[in-house]
């Protein structure tokens, strides 16, 4: 036993008036509905459009949508329930599960975004070798690496927290179990634990961030000499990906690549990468991508034909 006597944690949620809470509830419900419908639409579109399904970029995009649904589901449904009830608590086991699932899905998404940057680098900088380098076996291998690496990261984060004793208080100034807030409640010296957790986060975030910088610096240097339709299309695709990367990375870097502290800024950043970003991703990719929009129209027309009376 690690000396833990706490059986549940209580969330403070958001310090605001009831009318503001109801407004926040509406926003969260809209975002979560968009997460489910928008990302599911992308998955279905890619799956049933052969041209997209066999293209590495869209294969990764469909997997990103699966991760967005998973990441958004870690805390959003419970947040909706808690805002309706105006109070919230979670069992100790439920808290550890949230920590693991968040780091697993967020880590997978971070690595997958890096893989997608590598895919664009190969497509733009080595177009003649693209189909050879990014064959289906390589795509599956990269996908397995992202899931395996994130699984190890999630397990490590959860094990470090689970080894600490919690004997009160048990109030978390957040809407879900996030490591920076949970570790501060441990009734023991947390210095070593903080170092291990920050090191683990850095081990995932820093290599991905450096790889992204190198990939896009090389891509932009290559595109500088291309002003035709192909160059504009590649730049538009990269622009969408960079927007998604920025929306996801900036809040994560703000929260995790610094000594753990408790602030309202962390809570706002958490709302962003847990709820807002997964809802924006399908909009960013579809509104700026003619191929996806065209495939969605074809899928819509097929559905209409199937629904017409024979």
Looking up residue 187, the CATH number of its domain turns out to be 1.20.1070.10
Q: Give the start-end residues of each E strand in 12-104.
A: 89-91
Task: Tell the residue number behind the tokens 């590649």, with chain if given.
Answer: 234
What is the pLDDT, as a whole number, of residue 227? 54
Residue 203 lies in a domain: yes
pLDDT in tens, 156-212: 999 999 999 998 789 988 889 988 889 989 998 888 888 888 888 888 888 898 888
Residue 60 lies in a domain: yes
Residue 139 lies in a domain: yes
Structure token pair of residue 151 = 């699984």
What is the pLDDT, as a whole number, of residue 2? 67
Rounded Cα–Cα distance for residues 225 and 258 (Å): 39
What is the pLDDT, as a whole number, of residue 157? 94
Residue 110 lies in a domain: yes
Residue 310 lies in a domain: no
Q: How many domains does the chain have?
A: 1
Residue 309 lies in a domain: no
Rounded Cα–Cα distance for residues 255 and 16 (Å): 22
Identify which of 10, 116, 30, 25 has the alpha carbon closest to the alpha carbon of residue 67: 116
Three-class secondary structure of residue 89 per DSSP = strand
What is the pLDDT, as a whole number, of residue 160? 93
Domain that holds residue 153: 8-303
Chunked mean pLDDT (size 10), the chain, 310 residues = 81 78 89 93 89 89 94 92 85 94 94 92 89 92 94 95 90 88 89 87 86 87 65 69 82 70 71 87 78 81 65
What is the pLDDT, as a whole number, of residue 112? 94
Rounded Cα–Cα distance for residues 86 and 301 (Å): 44
Residue 2 lies in a domain: no
What is the pLDDT, as a whole number, of residue 299? 78
Residue 1 lies in a domain: no
The whole-angstrom distance between residue 72's C-alpha and the CA centroid of its chain comes to 8
Q: Does the model's pTM come out above 0.85?
A: yes
Rounded Cα–Cα distance for residues 64 and 247 (Å): 14
């Amino acid at each position: 036993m690690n000396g833990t006597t706490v059986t549940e944690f209580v969330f403070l949620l958001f310090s605001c008036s009831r009318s503001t809470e109801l407004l926040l509830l509406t926003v969260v419900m809209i975002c979560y509905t968009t997460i489910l419908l928008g990302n599911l639409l992308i998955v279905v579109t890619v799956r049933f459009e052969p041209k997209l399904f066999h293209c590495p970029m869209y294969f990764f995009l469909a997997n990103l949508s699966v991760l967005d649904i998973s990441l958004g589901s870690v805390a959003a449904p419970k947040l909706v329930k808690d805002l309706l009830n105006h109070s919230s608590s979670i069992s100790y086991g439920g808290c550890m599960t949230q920590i693991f699932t968040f780091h697993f899905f967020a880590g997978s998404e971070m690595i997958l975004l890096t893989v997608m940057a590598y895919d664009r680098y190969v497509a733009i900088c080595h177009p003649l070798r693209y189909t050879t380098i990014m064959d289906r076996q390589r795509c599956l291998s990269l996908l397995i690496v992202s899931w395996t690496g994130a699984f190890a990261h999630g397990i490590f984060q959860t094990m470090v927290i689970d080894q600490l004793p919690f004997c009160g208080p048990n109030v978390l100034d957040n809407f879900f179990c996030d490591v920076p807030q949970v570790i501060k409640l441990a009734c023991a010296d947390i210095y070593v634990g903080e170092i291990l957790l920050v090191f683990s986060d850095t081990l995932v975030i820093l290599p991905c961030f450096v790889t992204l910088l190198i990939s896009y610096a090389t891509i932009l240097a290559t595109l500088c000499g291309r002003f035709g339709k192909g160059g504009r299309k590649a730049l538009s695709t990269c622009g969408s990906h960079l927007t998604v990367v920025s929306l996801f990375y900036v809040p994560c870097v703000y929260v995790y690549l610094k000594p753990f502290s408790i602030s309202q800024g962390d809570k706002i950043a958490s709302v962003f990468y847990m709820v807002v970003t997964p809802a924006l991703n399908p909009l960013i990719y579809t509104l700026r991508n003619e191929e996806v929009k065209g495939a969605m129209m074809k899928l819509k027309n097929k559905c209409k034909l199937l629904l017409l009376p024979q």
